Structure 1
């Protein structure tokens, strides 16, 4: 028997359309290609060089010799395949598009909002644009990246999508925050 499966975002039906975007905004990404790259033993420098050389995707630190690669230009099915071809025997690639989700918190109070649940220094000098780290956001493990002076991306396991958004709303309760699906 054949089954027809339809891709559904874990937050479909829980986030409604907003009438106006506020200064502080949480954008939930619907479809983002995500892969994990693990450098082969002794090949960390080569793998890092290949990942940095291409602007079609964004590689973020996820651990020693490990990167989280995100792309809006690639379909989830093609990102891992293209990375595997480019990296060859320098690294191993695992598609994570189905198992992870991403949100972007932006606005003048973004760092203050995150400081309510993340235990690292988010000052621009200590955590500059381009920096990424695996951190706890309250009780959830996330990959946090600063993508702009007042903009942060958080990547978490798909099953924690609702909890992450709820936690971020609570962390922002003293700030004016809007939440909607990303339009980019």
Structure 2
């Protein structure tokens, strides 16, 4: 027997459209192409070179020889296959597109909002643009990347996305924060 499954975003029905986008805004990405890449033993330098050479991927550090790769160019259904072809025997690739949710927190108070729940130094000198790390946001494990001066990318597992959004709203209670699905 064949089943027809429909993809529903983890946060569908839990956040609504905002009437006014505020200076501090949390964007939830609807369809993100995300993959985990683990370098083959002794091949981390080659794998990193391939990931960095292409402008189609954003490779975020997870651990030595391991990256979380996001792409706005590739569809979630094709990112893993494209990375596997490009990386060949240098790395192992696992599609994470349907198991993770990507968010972007942007605004003049973004670092202050995150500091209410993250025990890492988010000053621009300590955590510059392009830096990424796995951190705890309150009780949830997330991958956090600074993607601009006042802009942070956050990737969380799908099952914890609702809890993370709720936590971020509480963390931002002294700052005006709007939350909505990304319009791109």
Q: Structure 2 length as normaliser, TM-score?
A: 0.99
Q: Distance in 1 between matches of 2:148 and 2:66?
A: 22
1:67 matched to which residue of 2? 67
1:159-178 to structure 2, matched below 5 A, reads: 159-178=159-178
2:154 is aligned to 154
Distance 1:82 1:26 in 2: 29
Unpaired segments of 5 or more residues in structure 2? Answer: none
Provide the secondary structure at the position in 2 that maps to 1:76. coil
| Structure 1 residue 28 corresponds to structure 2 residue 28 | yes
The structural deviation recorded for 1:2 is 1.2
- What's the secondary structure of 1:38's corresponding residue? strand
Q: Deviations over 1:97-150 (max 9, x none)?
A: 011001100000000000000000000000000000000000000000000000
The list of structure 1 runs, each at least 4 consecutive aligned residues, that deviate by more than 3 angstroms after superposition, is none
Deviation at 1:77, TM superposition (A): 1.4
Distance 2:9 2:77 in 1: 16
Instruction: Identify the residue that residue 135 of structure 2 maps to in structure 1.
Output: 135
Alignment of 1:6 with 2:10, yes or no, is: no
Distance in 2 (alpha carbons) for counterparts of 1:10 and 1:36: 20
1:52 aligns with 2:36: no
CA apart distance, 1:73: 1.3
Residues matched between the structures, number: 184
C-alpha distance in structure 1 between counterparts of 2:46 and 2:14, whole Å: 43
CA-atom RMSD in angstroms = 0.5
Cα distance, 1:57 vs. partner?
1.4
Question: Following the alignment from structure 2 to structure 1, what is the Cα–Cα distance between the partners of residues 129 and 166?
Answer: 25
The residue aligned with 2:104 is 104
Q: Could you list the per-position Cα deviations for residues 17-63 of structure 1 after superposition, in whole angstroms to 9, with x for gaps in the alignment?
A: 11110000000011000000000000000000000000111101011
**Does the residue aligned with 1:167 lie in a helix, a strand or coil?**
helix
**Separation in 2 of the partners of 1:119 and 1:3?**
44
In structure 2, distance between residues paired with 1:20 and 1:88: 46
